[in-house]
Amino acid sequence: MAENHNPLPQRPRPNAIPSHLINGHSPLHPSSSNDRDNSERESAYNAIKSSMGPRREPIDLDHPSPDLDASHSSSAPVQTLPSPAARQYEEVNDHDLDKIALNNGHNAARDERDGAPLTPPPTNRASSPFTQGSAIDFDGLSWPSVGTLARKNERDSPEDAAARLAKLSGAVRTILECIGEDPDREGLHGTPERYAKAMMFFTKGYEENLRDIVNGAVFHEDHDELVIVRDIEIYSLCEHHLVPFIGKMHIGYIPSRRVIGLSKLARIADMFSRRLQVQERLTKQVALALSEVLRPQGVAVVMESSHLCMAMRGVEKAGAVTTTSCMLGAMRKRAKTREEFLSLLNRSR
């Protein structure tokens, strides 16, 4: 006689990862998502701010700065804590695990010198947009330098503008004399004036601002998929050697019921590139500016360029290409969204 076996009811097998936690996105905790977005934006702002301090000194690895020495000699050494974005890349060897001491919930510095600031803190004018946390300055500037406002005001004063151009032309004439040339020979006749005008054009981005560039070209549109503009040509000047770096920029964003005219993406990139720049800061500035204008779900900017400062001089590697990126919002925290953006960039190449 066969035995009757009553199988136990099968319970549904739980998923390894809850659906609301896939790719790090949790609609159950919108506040935590907003906190992450604000932290990412603040980290990028601080990176731009620290690189543009008007009185910062270059880092000297052989001779510590006076401020650094002073911080060692003080009775209460200053401890600097890594930013949230930096802590995720912090690596600790296995043999160091038992040596780590906790200090107010953070890892204590392994060496007392690591707890001191490596460079003097940046100093900016109180009226700088950095202190306002915004890329849009309705005084007519976007992330200005020290003398930007004076240059902008000269557009209404032809006499002052002519005086600035004459001063710059005189400086170029001095350069020609210093390199052993004759500024008055036929081939160089008028070169100081031509170069001065060219330099003012190369750096015309200082006189522009987001308000005028966008010019109201932001529209309501119920679209929540990627928008990408690829291969935007970029021409900028390296602020270390005043020679060009040339490349292409790719900009993508996920709208949040607002879209921007496509040409404005290229104009924003051009505005920030027509300044003395480093590629890392240029990439961040474009991403943050677009984030300020649209408040999208996410922004991604990737830039590839060749730097003549390492092709014509120095290491002389003409084929080297530098790639930088800045991801904000959903582009940073969702791996699949980021991969989709990068895969679309590589398509048809």
Is residue 309 among the annotated active site residues? yes
Tell me which residue has tokens 């500024």: 183
Candidate list 238, 250, 277, 285, residue with the active-site label: 238
Q: What are the start-end ranges of the H helices in the chain?
A: 30-51, 66-73, 84-87, 129-132, 148-153, 158-178, 191-202, 210-214, 262-273, 279-294, 330-333, 335-346
Q: Buried b vs exposed e over 203-223: b needs ≥16 C-beta within 10 Å?
A: bebbbbbbbebbeeeeeeeee
Is residue 279 among the annotated active site residues? yes
Amino acid sitting at position 155: R
Is residue 326 among the annotated active site residues? no
Is residue 307 among the annotated active site residues? yes
Helix (H, G, I), strand (E, B) or coil at 155: helix
Is residue 95 among the annotated active site residues? no
Candidate list 25, 181, 193, 241, residue with the active-site label: 241
Candidate list 277, 279, 285, 297, residue with the active-site label: 279
Is residue 178 among the annotated active site residues? no
Q: DSSP letters along 206-240, please?
A: GG--HHHHHTT-EEE----S-EEEEEEEEEEEETT
Helix (H, G, I), strand (E, B) or coil at 287: helix
Candidate list 42, 79, 280, 309, residue with the active-site label: 309
The residue count of the chain comes to: 349
Closest to 171 in 3D by CA, of 200, 202, 205, 203: 200
CA–CA separation, 161 and 126 (whole Å): 26
In the structure encoding, which two tokens stand for residue 201, read together?
Answer: 């054009």
Candidate list 207, 285, 297, 307, residue with the active-site label: 307
Candidate list 154, 239, 280, 304, residue with the active-site label: 239
Any idea which residues carry the catalytic annotation?
A: 238-241, 279, 307, 309
